[in-house]
């Protein structure tokens, strides 16, 4: 793997880490304010991922 590719991967990892910290902070605020619990947040994420996976699969089937 060349150096440029490694740098791009490192930058992506850093961006993902930042987004992860931002989401953690957001969930903490929502919990503190009583709007949502971590468990509710995790259920919503799981639901959206499952829905997205089904939708993407059906679009892929249409393409072929």
How many domains does the chain fold into? 1
Q: What is the pLDDT of residue 58?
A: 59
Q: What is the pLDDT of residue 60?
A: 56
Q: Which residues of the chain have pLDDT under 50?
A: none
Alpha helix ranges (H) inside the chain: 3-33, 38-63
Q: What is the pLDDT of residue 38?
A: 87
Domain that includes residue 58, residue range = 3-63
Q: What is the pLDDT of residue 46?
A: 94
Q: What is the pLDDT of residue 62?
A: 58
Estimate the crossing angle of helix 3-33 against helix 38-63, to 10 degrees.
Answer: 130
């Amino acid at each position: 793997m060349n150096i440029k590719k490694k740098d791009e991967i490192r930058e992506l990892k850093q961006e993902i880490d930042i987004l992860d910290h931002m989401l953690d902070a957001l969930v903490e605020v929502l919990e503190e304010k009583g709007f949502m619990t971590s468990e509710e947040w995790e259920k919503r994420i799981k639901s959206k991922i499952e829905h997205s996976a089904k939708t993407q699969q059906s679009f892929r089937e249409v393409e072929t």
